[in-house]
Structure 1
Amino acid sequence: MRIGTHNVNGIRATLVRGFRDFWDGAAADVIAVQEVRCRAGDLPLWGFDGWHATLELGHLPGRNGVAVLTKAPPVAVRTLHGGALHRVADGRVEEISSSGVGGRDLRPFATEGRYVEVDLADAPLRVASLYLPKGAAWPYDGLGEEKYRRKMRFLRGLRRQLRESRLDAQAQGREFLVMGDFNIAHQQLDLKNWRGNQRSEGFLPEEREWFSSILGPRTLVDVVRRHTGDVSGPYSWWSWRGQSFTGDIGWRIDYHLASPGLARSATSTWTAREPQYEHRMSDHCPVIVDYAI
């Protein structure tokens, strides 16, 4: 199976910039999408032609929103609030129900459109799409401290949730894969200017320690890092400003984290950085892995 993740930074804008052309050419089987940033009534339904889209849009207008695109309807869907969410199929959008996951720490984020997981109908696999809060740089002051504390609370809850989802999937005979924008560069290899960003959100010591805590040979595996080895990048995000993209001054913050069995089945990985600035679909680029599953 070919599986990808893509923070689109607004589905309507990204469709204009070539989202469908890229993913039709990539011939993916599953796509995790983040930052849909669109209300249900404004969804461009033509953009999901040929896909079954399960969307957790949240209640914040113009912000967040995650989705999983599959070829067949999933057999189960879970969100942080366990209520209604949206599905696009056959050119129409409708509300469906979901089961609830997440504990006390994730409850304040339940309606923000940050997490959705589905059990595939055509493979023994559970797939989650995640958009993690950005947080704030150090030293924290005013609103920055609140953003920092919210992110750390989300991380505490997410660690428990990923463990529970992985173990529950395992009990059902399924592998587990969480993809998306984690807003954390785990290692020095994962951003170009790591020395100058040690007090920046996304590269704080406590964020990186958290990331290490969820990885392990028996828990979750960073699939792209396992395949690329100890090389710089490959980056998946570049600022729109300045010469970040042209100079490849980026961050690797978009991940495939897989259960060990699924990680071992990965046969190839690539980060689909556009060749030129004017061809960019988003400030993130797709990250794709082929799995022998």
Structure 2
Amino acid sequence: MKAAQLTVVSFNVNGIRAARRRGFDEWLQRRGADVIGLQELRCPADLVGDFPGYTASFDVGSIPGRNGVALLTRLPPAAVRTWVTHPPKARGLGEYASHGRYVEVDLADQPVTVACLYLPKGGLPAELQRPGSMREKPDGGAKYRRKMAFLDGFARELERNRLAARRAGREFLLVGDLNIAHLEHDVTNWRAARRMEGFLPEEREWFSARLSPRKLIDVVRTLHGDRPGPLTWWSWAGASFAKDVGWRIDHHLATPALAARARWVEVDKEASPDQRVSDHAAVVVGYERMP
């Protein structure tokens, strides 16, 4: 039954070359998905490599060793757009246009536009920064301000792209590592996380504002229901993976008609820490194909 559906994946690979050494190519062939959105390629274009059976549309960005997004499709897409070929129009996103954070394709065999985003991780506001208790040196809230400016601009850009897809007669799907956990169900230790980047009240409010029964639906939460999980990221450090202490920050946000066709969700968490391909797991959703 699943083979007759459109299977779409979001997977932050945390470096495609490292992921390949850990078994990414074997996972790709075993999973056999139709569309795969990848984040954090973290390598130059000439080292991304081939993906047998897929056409790769990607933007590695201009910052060595950072960012980079791709969409792998079974068929060559009808159109490809990145922020290099189609610069974002929303104020505040211009400085990110060459950073390799967004790619969008029109599928050739379905009236669907799929976008892949790697949203900045950000940081803490100055008042929450405590020297000695942070992994990074306090920055006075600079990373926090940049993330919030990005969110403000991307809200407008996302709405523009959703409406452009609708005018073209297409459904719209955003996949990616959004570096935001939305609900308490999305973080194992959610009380402590309220003072951490990725689960700050203003970030969660931004996420809530993107969702609407008439605009975009959180597909994974809808399928999984009102209960903890499914987690998609676990720290490399300690026993977080083994104890399943993590966050859900990898998402599928779909327009209502497409979201209504979502039938199942699976998170490809490996069986043991030594089998991990990335610090994230692939989030796979099966959609009933459009008529």
TM-score of the superposed pair, with normalisation by structure 1: 0.91
How far is the alpha carbon of 1:75 from its aligned partner? 1.6
SS of the equivalent of 2:38 reads: strand
Q: Does 1:279 align with 2:284?
A: no
| Equivalent in the alignment of 1:38 | 43
Letter in 1 for 2:100: G
Q: Structure 2 unaligned runs (5+)?
A: 1-5, 130-137
Shift of 1:171: 1.0
| Partners of 1:265 and 1:55 in 2: CA distance | 27
Q: Is the 8 A contact 1:81 1:107 kept in 2?
A: no
Q: Among residues 213, 216, 233, which one is paired with 1:217 in the alignment?
A: 213
Aligned partner of 1:56 in structure 2 is 59
Q: Relative to structure 2, which stretch is displaced further, 281-290 or 158-167?
A: 158-167
Contact preservation (8 Å) 1:191, 1:235? yes
SS in structure 2 of the partner of residue 127 of structure 1: strand
**Residue 3 of structure 2 aligns with which residue?**
none
Alpha-carbon distance in structure 2 between the residues aligned to 1:203 and 1:213: 15
Matches within 5 A, 1:36-185: 36-45=41-50, 48-82=51-85, 99-138=86-125, 139=127, 142-185=138-181
Name the SS of the counterpart of 1:117 in structure 2.
strand
Runs of 4+ in 1 over 4 A off after TM superposition: none
Residue of structure 1 equivalent to 2:133:
none
- Distance in 2, matches of 1:144 and 1:37, equals 27
Shift of 1:144: 4.9
Instruction: Please tell me the residue identity of whatever aligns with 1:78.
Output: R
What's the CA shift for 1:272?
1.1
Sequence identity (%): 52
Cα offset, 1:9, TM superposition? 0.2
CA shift at 1:43, angstroms? 2.4
**1:102–1:158 contact (8 Å) kept in structure 2:** no
Alignment root-mean-square deviation, CA? 1.2
Identify the residue that residue 85 of structure 1 maps to in structure 2: none
- Residue 79 of structure 1: how far off its partner (Å): 1.8
Question: What is the rounded CA distance, in whole Å, between the counterparts of 1:43 and 1:219 in structure 2?
Answer: 34
- Counterpart of 1:234 in structure 2 is 230
TM-score (norm 2): 0.92
1:23 maps to 2:21:
no
Q: CA deviation at 1:22?
A: 1.2
The separation in 2 between residues aligned to 1:108 and 1:131, in whole angstroms, is 15
